[in-house]
Protein backbone atom coordinates (compact mmCIF):
# COMPACT_ATOMS: atom_id res chain seq x y z
CA UNK A 1 0.00 0.00 0.00
CA UNK A 2 1.38 3.42 -0.95
CA UNK A 3 1.32 6.28 1.52
CA UNK A 4 -1.45 8.01 -0.45
CA UNK A 5 -3.59 4.88 -0.35
CA UNK A 6 -3.33 4.72 3.42
CA UNK A 7 -5.62 7.75 3.59
CA UNK A 8 -8.22 6.51 1.12
CA UNK A 9 -8.18 2.90 2.34
CA UNK A 10 -8.42 4.14 5.93
CA UNK A 11 -11.64 6.04 5.08
CA UNK A 12 -11.22 8.63 7.85
CA UNK A 13 -8.69 11.26 8.96
CA UNK A 14 -8.98 12.03 12.67
CA UNK A 15 -8.20 15.72 13.26
CA UNK A 16 -6.64 16.19 16.71
CA UNK A 17 -6.92 19.85 17.66
CA UNK A 18 -6.31 19.90 21.42
CA UNK A 19 -4.56 22.17 23.90
CA UNK A 20 -3.37 19.15 25.88
CA UNK A 21 -1.62 16.43 23.86
CA UNK A 22 -0.22 14.53 26.83
CA UNK A 23 -2.42 11.52 25.96
CA UNK A 24 -1.66 11.54 22.25
CA UNK A 25 -0.23 8.02 22.19
CA UNK A 26 -3.22 6.50 23.99
CA UNK A 27 -5.59 8.46 21.75
CA UNK A 28 -3.87 7.26 18.59
CA UNK A 29 -4.01 3.66 19.75
CA UNK A 30 -7.70 3.98 20.61
CA UNK A 31 -8.51 5.43 17.19
CA UNK A 32 -6.46 2.77 15.40
CA UNK A 33 -8.22 0.04 17.36
CA UNK A 34 -11.46 1.28 15.78
CA UNK A 35 -10.00 1.30 12.28
CA UNK A 36 -9.17 5.02 12.04
CA UNK A 37 -5.45 4.89 11.42
CA UNK A 38 -4.89 8.32 9.81
CA UNK A 39 -4.36 10.74 12.68
CA UNK A 40 -3.60 14.43 12.11
CA UNK A 41 -2.08 16.56 14.87
CA UNK A 42 -2.64 20.24 14.16
CA UNK A 43 0.06 22.85 14.53
CA UNK A 44 -2.30 25.10 16.47
CA UNK A 45 -0.59 23.33 19.37
CA UNK A 46 3.04 24.52 19.67
CA UNK A 47 4.10 21.05 20.83
CA UNK A 48 2.74 19.29 17.75
CA UNK A 49 6.13 18.46 16.23
CA UNK A 50 7.36 16.78 19.42
CA UNK A 51 4.10 14.88 19.75
CA UNK A 52 4.34 13.59 16.18
CA UNK A 53 7.83 12.26 16.91
CA UNK A 54 6.63 10.61 20.12
CA UNK A 55 3.56 9.02 18.55
CA UNK A 56 5.49 7.70 15.57
CA UNK A 57 8.00 6.04 17.89
CA UNK A 58 5.27 4.54 20.07
CA UNK A 59 2.80 3.19 17.51
CA UNK A 60 5.00 2.39 14.52
CA UNK A 61 3.05 1.33 11.44
CA UNK A 62 -0.22 0.96 13.34
CA UNK A 63 -1.06 4.58 12.49
CA UNK A 64 -0.43 7.04 9.68
CA UNK A 65 0.55 10.22 11.50
CA UNK A 66 0.17 13.62 9.85
CA UNK A 67 0.54 17.31 10.59
CA UNK A 68 -2.40 19.68 10.18
CA UNK A 69 -3.01 23.42 10.05
CA UNK A 70 0.32 23.77 8.26
CA UNK A 71 0.38 27.39 7.10
CA UNK A 72 3.64 27.52 5.15
CA UNK A 73 6.48 25.52 3.67
CA UNK A 74 8.76 26.14 6.64
CA UNK A 75 6.25 24.57 9.03
CA UNK A 76 5.77 21.67 6.61
CA UNK A 77 9.51 20.97 6.70
CA UNK A 78 9.56 21.09 10.51
CA UNK A 79 6.67 18.62 10.61
CA UNK A 80 8.24 16.29 8.05
CA UNK A 81 11.57 16.22 9.89
CA UNK A 82 9.64 15.46 13.09
CA UNK A 83 8.19 12.40 11.38
CA UNK A 84 4.92 13.57 9.82
CA UNK A 85 3.84 11.15 7.11
CA UNK A 86 1.50 13.60 5.40
CA UNK A 87 0.80 17.33 5.50
CA UNK A 88 -2.60 19.00 5.72
CA UNK A 89 -3.11 22.72 5.04
CA UNK A 90 -6.15 24.95 5.61
CA UNK A 91 -5.56 26.85 2.36
CA UNK A 92 -3.73 26.67 -0.95
CA UNK A 93 -0.01 27.39 -0.71
CA UNK A 94 2.00 26.20 -3.75
CA UNK A 95 5.31 26.33 -1.88
CA UNK A 96 3.96 23.89 0.69
CA UNK A 97 3.06 21.43 -2.05
CA UNK A 98 6.58 21.81 -3.44
CA UNK A 99 8.05 21.03 -0.02
CA UNK A 100 5.94 17.89 0.21
CA UNK A 101 7.07 16.83 -3.25
CA UNK A 102 10.69 17.35 -2.25
CA UNK A 103 10.31 14.86 0.60
CA UNK A 104 7.83 12.54 -1.20
CA UNK A 105 5.17 13.26 1.43
CA UNK A 106 1.44 13.28 0.55
CA UNK A 107 -0.09 16.76 0.51
CA UNK A 108 -3.70 17.32 1.58
CA UNK A 109 -4.35 20.91 0.51
CA UNK A 110 -7.21 23.07 1.70
CA UNK A 111 -9.43 24.81 -0.86
CA UNK A 112 -13.07 25.65 -1.37
CA UNK A 113 -13.99 27.23 -4.71
CA UNK A 114 -13.75 25.28 -7.98
CA UNK A 115 -10.86 27.49 -9.06
CA UNK A 116 -8.94 26.87 -5.83
CA UNK A 117 -9.66 23.15 -5.97
CA UNK A 118 -8.45 22.76 -9.56
CA UNK A 119 -5.40 24.97 -8.99
CA UNK A 120 -4.36 22.99 -5.92
CA UNK A 121 -4.75 19.72 -7.79
CA UNK A 122 -2.84 20.89 -10.86
CA UNK A 123 -0.04 22.20 -8.61
CA UNK A 124 0.45 18.71 -7.20
CA UNK A 125 -1.90 18.14 -4.27
CA UNK A 126 -2.58 14.47 -3.61
CA UNK A 127 -5.94 15.36 -2.05
CA UNK A 128 -7.93 18.56 -1.80
CA UNK A 129 -9.51 19.18 1.59
CA UNK A 130 -12.74 21.09 1.09
CA UNK A 131 -13.24 23.26 4.16
CA UNK A 132 -15.64 24.18 5.56
CA UNK A 133 -17.59 21.39 3.92
CA UNK A 134 -20.67 22.40 5.89
CA UNK A 135 -21.17 25.44 3.65
CA UNK A 136 -21.92 23.45 0.53
CA UNK A 137 -22.66 20.03 1.93
CA UNK A 138 -22.65 16.81 -0.08
CA UNK A 139 -24.49 18.45 -3.00
CA UNK A 140 -21.58 20.86 -3.46
CA UNK A 141 -19.21 17.89 -3.75
CA UNK A 142 -21.40 16.31 -6.39
CA UNK A 143 -21.58 19.56 -8.35
CA UNK A 144 -17.82 20.20 -8.17
CA UNK A 145 -16.91 16.65 -9.14
CA UNK A 146 -19.15 16.71 -12.20
CA UNK A 147 -16.49 18.62 -14.22
CA UNK A 148 -13.57 17.41 -12.05
CA UNK A 149 -14.22 13.68 -11.49
CA UNK A 150 -10.48 12.94 -11.27
CA UNK A 151 -9.85 15.14 -8.22
CA UNK A 152 -9.71 13.44 -4.83
CA UNK A 153 -11.79 15.46 -2.39
CA UNK A 154 -11.98 15.13 1.40
CA UNK A 155 -14.63 17.07 3.34
CA UNK A 156 -13.62 18.72 6.60
CA UNK A 157 -15.65 20.93 8.91
CA UNK A 158 -19.24 19.96 9.53
CA UNK A 159 -18.79 16.24 8.88
CA UNK A 160 -21.01 14.12 11.13
CA UNK A 161 -21.80 10.43 11.44
CA UNK A 162 -25.20 11.23 9.93
CA UNK A 163 -23.95 12.98 6.77
CA UNK A 164 -20.85 10.85 6.12
CA UNK A 165 -22.68 8.47 3.73
CA UNK A 166 -23.96 11.42 1.69
CA UNK A 167 -20.46 12.88 1.30
CA UNK A 168 -19.04 9.53 0.20
CA UNK A 169 -21.88 8.88 -2.24
CA UNK A 170 -21.35 12.40 -3.62
CA UNK A 171 -17.76 11.45 -4.50
CA UNK A 172 -15.55 12.14 -1.46
CA UNK A 173 -12.70 9.61 -1.19
CA UNK A 174 -12.50 9.88 2.62
CA UNK A 175 -13.68 12.22 5.38
CA UNK A 176 -11.95 14.29 8.06
CA UNK A 177 -13.50 14.67 11.49
CA UNK A 178 -12.39 16.58 14.58
CA UNK A 179 -14.13 16.96 17.93
CA UNK A 180 -17.11 14.80 16.98
CA UNK A 181 -14.66 11.90 16.84
CA UNK A 182 -11.82 13.12 19.05
CA UNK A 183 -14.02 13.97 22.04
CA UNK A 184 -12.04 16.10 24.55
CA UNK A 185 -14.16 14.94 27.49
CA UNK A 186 -13.60 11.27 26.70
CA UNK A 187 -9.88 11.89 26.30
CA UNK A 188 -9.63 13.73 29.60
CA UNK A 189 -11.47 10.88 31.32
CA UNK A 190 -9.31 8.26 29.63
CA UNK A 191 -12.41 6.67 28.14
CA UNK A 192 -10.59 4.97 25.28
CA UNK A 193 -13.40 2.48 24.71
CA UNK A 194 -15.69 5.39 23.79
CA UNK A 195 -13.09 6.76 21.34
CA UNK A 196 -12.62 3.32 19.78
CA UNK A 197 -16.36 2.81 19.41
CA UNK A 198 -16.78 6.23 17.76
CA UNK A 199 -13.92 5.43 15.39
CA UNK A 200 -15.38 2.03 14.51
CA UNK A 201 -18.83 3.50 13.80
CA UNK A 202 -17.37 6.16 11.55
CA UNK A 203 -15.03 3.78 9.74
CA UNK A 204 -17.85 1.31 9.10
CA UNK A 205 -20.17 4.09 7.92
CA UNK A 206 -17.67 5.20 5.28
CA UNK A 207 -16.90 1.62 4.25
CA UNK A 208 -20.61 0.88 3.83
CA UNK A 209 -21.13 4.03 1.75
CA UNK A 210 -18.23 2.97 -0.46
CA UNK A 211 -19.92 -0.38 -0.98
CA UNK A 212 -17.50 -2.29 1.23
CA UNK A 213 -20.02 -3.43 3.80
CA UNK A 214 -18.23 -6.74 4.15
CA UNK A 215 -15.01 -5.09 5.29
CA UNK A 216 -15.33 -4.04 8.90
CA UNK A 217 -12.98 -2.23 11.22
CA UNK A 218 -12.81 -5.40 13.28
CA UNK A 219 -10.99 -7.20 10.49
CA UNK A 220 -8.81 -4.37 9.24
CA UNK A 221 -7.81 -2.49 12.38
CA UNK A 222 -4.32 -3.03 13.79
CA UNK A 223 -4.03 -5.75 16.38
CA UNK A 224 -2.38 -3.59 19.03
CA UNK A 225 -4.36 -3.20 22.21
CA UNK A 226 -5.31 0.02 23.93
CA UNK A 227 -3.61 0.51 27.26
Mean pLDDT throughout 25-30?
A: 98
Number of domains in the chain: 1
| CATH number, domain containing residue 63 | 3.20.20.70
Q: How many CB atoms lie within 10 A of CB 78?
A: 17
Domain assignment present for residue 37? The answer is yes
Residue 227 covered by a domain: no
Q: What is the CA 139 to chain-centroid distance, rounded? A: 21
Q: Is the pTM of this model over 0.85?
A: yes
95: in domain: yes
Distances (CA, A) of 81 to 35, 76, 86, 87, 103: 26, 9, 11, 12, 9
Residue 131: phi and psi, rounded to 5, are -140, 135
Q: Is 20 within 8 Å of 41 (Cβ atoms)?
A: no
| 104: pLDDT strictly greater than 70 | yes
Instruction: Tell whether 226 is covered by a domain.
Output: no
Q: Is residue 103 part of a domain?
A: yes
Q: Which residues are catalytic?
A: 40, 129
Is residue 90 assigned to a domain? yes
Question: Taking Cα atoms as reference points, which of 225, 200, 226, 195 lies closest to residue 215?
Answer: 200
Does residue 115 surpass a pLDDT of 90? yes
Provide the residue range defining the domain that includes 88: 3-220
Is 65 within a domain?
yes
In a domain, 191, yes or no: yes
- Mean pLDDT value across residues 51-80: 98
Find the mean pLDDT for residues 192-207: 96
The Cα 100–Cα 80 span in angstroms is 8
Q: In angstroms, what CA-CA distances link 182 with 28, 43, 67, 145, 185?
A: 10, 16, 16, 29, 9
Amino acid sequence: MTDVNRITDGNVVAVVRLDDLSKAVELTRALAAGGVTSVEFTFTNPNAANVITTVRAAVGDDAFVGAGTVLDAETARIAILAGAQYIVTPSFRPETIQMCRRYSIPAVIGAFTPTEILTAWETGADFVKVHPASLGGPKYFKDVLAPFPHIKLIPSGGVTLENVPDFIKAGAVAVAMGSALVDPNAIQAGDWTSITNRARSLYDSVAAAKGNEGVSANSTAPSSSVN
